[in-house]
Structure 1
């Protein structure tokens, strides 16, 4: 998912401000050196003069000018280095200092976004995702099995809920590991409080830390965006941008599908969203309290056929974890 124009401009303005700061600090260091070593300015002036003279000679066809200039300037720079060292300055004290040496604070290295640009970009994408604060506490490192029952084997699983959750967590980790190759989709089903949202947050945190764009929306919020995009003409531009983010983000999380007011509009918009993301190889995770047969009744056959054929369906079982936590 691309940044909006205003977000991109804000990042580039920050780079411009950093470049200005770099130049100002360099000028201060140079002035300090000139104050303590007056001859240093003469050496710098000589370097500039020789560079200009060499350029003029090259334009006139003198092919030896470049070789001579390099030799003379190298000698002058060696003199500068000796003077700086004798005065207690580092050899590179007068050089430009960069916050990021890879892109030299331009945001781009070798024609591509630098890692530092990606870090700045993620600040905006994290905020857009709606789950920045949540994933800080709900992630794989904080996931605990202690609230899942390990005392009785469920016939449908032929194992305990705790054992089954170990398998589910492994599926989620594999989803993250193969994300760039598989462009997979997950559908978590099960009653309230069995860990559906926590698992989606675990996945979201891992992918956001790898600079993928993630948008989290409850089903109610998702369909509100769809409705405003279709009918709210006063905020048409903003809604169109958000609508496009939903279609284009690397991972869309739809939480609590089935809690929204269901009608023909929500069914058609859900199908369009799911289908467009499948066609563009964008991943989606859906969590719902409804089993597949109820989803089929709520929505259309077209929606459920996409879910069954293109999503990994992961039913979750057990008691409400929040109640078990209070009981302990």
Structure 2
């Protein structure tokens, strides 16, 4: 799990590599064209010289009519040579991925949107590696797997109930803001789509340029504990904890599958308390459907923090089992 700054630096390196690659390919194309087209190198030099003269004339306040005309004629000659060999006018120019910043990563002193898009892609890849699931969308959640039979407690079918749940979660993601969105507790038996729904929210929130951190409870707190009681010269434990604390949206998956210890309980409480205090939304998924058991496992202090979350019940039959039987 990388911090937002680490993600930003990696995105800058990715964009810089794109620029380097584009320029290298342009140099190869230029060398190939010069070898194939007689007079091309001279025509390129003529464009360069005429361009410098035109710029000097403009900088000194002189009339640029003559120098501009000479530059245009030189460019026309170069274009004609390229066209004669079946090459487009921009054949010798670098093909940058981002036309706006030409893969420099900045426009008018501000970070270009292409850097933010790379950050999204990097975070999506990280989440998919940590969750072993793709960051998909609500469109991939098939309602056909939820029973179309009436549930007496609901007074409606599980399928229609889950359609409403997923619609509400879709709305939650579509109009996301860390300052206004509440925290969610997705509760239900295994295989009902809780993690899938959380990752669908993650995909939409990332698209809106917010940063999302996904952690699996056993993996995340297990790593923190190993660092705490082992060797941690670089302070990775604190960095990981603060990254989770400060994310625009934190997804805490599979609460209830971790190894419970005093270290875990202390850090879970601190994490939830810090984020609630900062008014940053957290999505927790758990298979623990009994509120009494939840309090017994996680102490009154933690369960009181979770009680501040909006609880959303997932119902139905294990979708993974249904898919395996198909």
When normalised by structure 1's length, the TM-score is 0.80
1:54, 1:65 within 8 Å by CA — same for their partners in 2? no
SS of residue paired to 1:27: helix
Partner of 1:184: 182
1:222, 1:254 within 8 Å by CA — same for their partners in 2? no
Partner of 1:295: 294
Aligned residue runs from structure 1 range 111-190, under 5 A: 111-129=109-127, 130-131=129-130, 133-135=132-134, 139-155=137-153, 157-180=154-177, 182-190=180-188
| Separation in 1, partners of 2:201, 2:56 | 61
2:11, 2:119 within 8 Å by CA — same for their partners in 1? yes
| Separation in 1, partners of 2:21, 2:318 | 54
SS of residue paired to 1:254: strand
Is 1:27 the counterpart of 2:21? The answer is no
Partner of 1:274: 272
46 and 65 in structure 1: CA distance in 2 versus 1, 3 angstrom threshold: farther
Q: 1:325 deviation in Å? A: 5.6
CA offsets 1:43-100 (integer angstroms, 9 cap, x no match): 43344334545666677xx421555433432232233334433444322223332233
SS of residue paired to 1:259: coil
When normalised by structure 2's length, the TM-score is 0.80
Correspondence for 1:80 among 78, 81, 97: 78
| Separation in 2, partners of 1:304, 1:14 | 43
| Separation in 2, partners of 1:116, 1:291 | 46
SS of residue paired to 2:213: strand
| Separation in 1, partners of 2:124, 2:247 | 12
Aligned residue runs from structure 1 range 211-226, under 5 A: 212-226=210-224
SS of residue paired to 1:172: helix
27 and 51 in structure 1: CA distance in 2 versus 1, 3 angstrom threshold: same
Partner of 2:237: 239
| Separation in 2, partners of 1:255, 1:87 | 59
SS of residue paired to 2:251: strand
Q: State the Cα RMSD in Å.
A: 3.4
277 and 33 in structure 1: CA distance in 2 versus 1, 3 angstrom threshold: same
188 and 74 in structure 1: CA distance in 2 versus 1, 3 angstrom threshold: same
Name structure 2 gaps, 5 residues minimum.
none
Q: 1:323 deviation in Å? A: 5.1
Q: 1:125 deviation in Å? A: 1.7
| Separation in 1, partners of 2:318, 2:81 | 73
| Separation in 2, partners of 1:66, 1:281 | 60
SS of residue paired to 1:317: coil
74 and 188 in structure 1: CA distance in 2 versus 1, 3 angstrom threshold: same
| Separation in 2, partners of 1:75, 1:248 | 58
2:186, 2:311 within 8 Å by CA — same for their partners in 1? yes
